[in-house]
């Protein structure tokens, strides 16, 4: 079984929401099934920023949807969507 690198774009509830807090909460939520490789804060518009998070997981059926749902459940996260997915 191989591994998959997935990049998520995580949008906060608002511009005042701390992306560092979201990052910590997401790391705790998905830490058991994934390894976080890299995070980056990306400006979107009008002061709104997104958290770009690249994670590494084992290649399993439905893992992308499971992670996306888990991240979306985190407090102060408005949405999470997959930007890229690559088999390693």
The CATH number for 35's domain is 3.30.70.60
For 45, residues 6+ apart whose C-beta sits below 8 A from its C-beta are none
Domain count, the chain: 1
pLDDT band for position 46 (cuts 50, 70, 90): confident
Give the per-residue pLDDT at 82: 96
What is the maximum alpha-carbon separation in the chain?
43
Judged by DSSP in three states, 26 sits in: helix
pLDDT band for position 12 (cuts 50, 70, 90): very high
How far, in Å, CA of 66 to CA of 36, rounded?
15
Average pLDDT over residues 40-48: 92
pLDDT exceeds 90 at position 73: yes
Domain hosting residue 22, numbered range: 3-87
Average pLDDT over residues 52-73: 94
- Supply the pTM of this predicted model: 0.90
What angle (nearest 5°) sits at the alpha carbon of residue 85, between those of residues 83 and 88? 150
How far, in Å, CA of 35 to CA of 38, rounded?
9
pLDDT exceeds 80 at position 1: no
């Amino acid at each position: 079984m191989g591994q998959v690198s997935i990049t998520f774009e995580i949008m906060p509830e608002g511009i005042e929401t701390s992306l560092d807090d979201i990052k910590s909460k997401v790391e705790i939520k998905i830490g058991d099934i994934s390894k976080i490789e890299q995070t980056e804060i990306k400006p979107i518009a009008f002061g709104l920023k997104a958290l770009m998070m690249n994670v590494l997981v084992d290649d399993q059926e439905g893992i992308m949807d499971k992670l996306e749902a888990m991240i979306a459940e985190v407090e102060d996260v408005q949405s999470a969507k997959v930007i890229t997915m690559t088999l390693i």
